[in-house]
Amino acid sequence: MKFTSDDFAKELKSKNIRLSHQRLKVLEYLSENKCHPTVDQIYTNLLKEIPTLSRTTVYSTLGALADAGMVKAINIEDNEIRYDITVEDHGHFKCESCGSIYDFPADMSHLESEVLNGFKIRDKNVYFKGTCPMCLVNKN
């Protein structure tokens, strides 16, 4: 499903997040670039379009969007937080050769354990690392 600026504006309003040009652009960027970008990637790519944009604005925007459940921060590698606009449960595979991150369906309900009864689970993540098919072909 392709979202429009109006869809994003309505969603921001419904989450009581102040609408701004920068926030809309960050959401549009995430929607159009499903590569799980980092703050620096988002900042660098939007800077061409918004010369007054700061890294701080990107960080605060992503924090507000994550707190509202509109984006998900994923941490597959130490010191590397990436952002995903797909907030429904799914897993991630990171290619150790090219660095690409792929989404895959994952039924997170089967990951709960009786040992965790009485715990409040806030987040569930499934991460795999290895080599993607493209890199495997290029290696041979």
Of residues 72 and 9, the one with the higher pLDDT is: 72
pLDDT at position 52 is: 95
Concatenating the DSSP letter of every residue in 12-54 gives: HHHTT----HHHHHHHHHHHH--S--BHHHHHHHHHTT-TT--
> 118 is in which domain, residue-wise?
91-139
Q: What is the mean pLDDT of residues 119-137?
A: 92
Could you tell me what percent of the chain has a pLDDT over 90?
Answer: 64
The pairing of strands 80-84 and 127-130 is: unpaired
Segment 19-66, tens digit of pLDDT:
899 999 999 999 999 999 999 999 999 999 999 999 999 999 999 999
Picking from 65, 84, 103, the residue at the C-terminal end of a domain is 84
Residues 10 and 79 in one domain: yes
Do 80 and 102 lie in one domain? The reply is no
Task: Give the global pTM.
Answer: 0.84
Same domain, 73 and 101: no
- Domains: count for the chain: 2
pLDDT at 26: 95
